[in-house]
Amino acid sequence: MPGAPRAGLSLLEVAVVLVVAAALASLAIPRFRAYEHRVHRGTLVRALRDLAAAENGYWRTVGTYTGDAGALPGARSAGISVRIVSADSLGWSARAIAEDDPSVECAIFYGTAPILPPASRRNIIGCAP
């Protein structure tokens, strides 16, 4: 019937809605990923700060740093993989990676431990990206 109201949407209207939704998604997804990286980076920095405090406490008690994260109280965080790379009586280094986003990693080296990228300055946590 020529004068009757039609039900539903035309193919052109659906295509316009899909194009608008795709444009909004293309703007939102990169921002969400950047936010997610910032959250992971903050969590990794906190885990390495906790590890540094635990290593310092261990050194005050025993007189050396430990390479065993299990020997340190409170040095574990859910969803974070922290690995002590080297440790002796003069220094230590460690790397932290978010288990659900391994592209974000942070590291620290302390004392006489060798440089551990992405950390580039002694006692300062460095992260990438």
Q: How confident is the model at residue 9 (pLDDT cuts 50, 70, 90)?
A: confident
Which pLDDT band holds residue 1 (cuts at 50, 70, 90)? Answer: low
Which candidate, 15, 83, 26, places its Cα nearest to that of 51?
83
Residue 43 lies in a domain: yes
Residue 40 makes CB contacts below 8 A (sequence gap 6+) with 98, 101, 104
Single pTM value for the model = 0.75
**pLDDT band, residue 33 (cuts 50/70/90):** confident
How many Cβ atoms are within 10 Å of 123's Cβ, its own excluded?
11
Number of structural domains (the chain) is 1
Domain that includes residue 38, residue range: 11-128
Give the pLDDT mean for 3-12.
76
Domain-embedded: residue 28: yes
Which of 28-37, 87-96, 116-125 is least confident? 28-37
Minimal CA–CA distance to 59: which of 97, 112, 96? 112
**Taking residues 102-113, what's their average pLDDT?**
93
Residues 47-71: b if buried by 16+ CB within 10 A, e if exposed: bbebbbebbeebbeeeeebbbebee
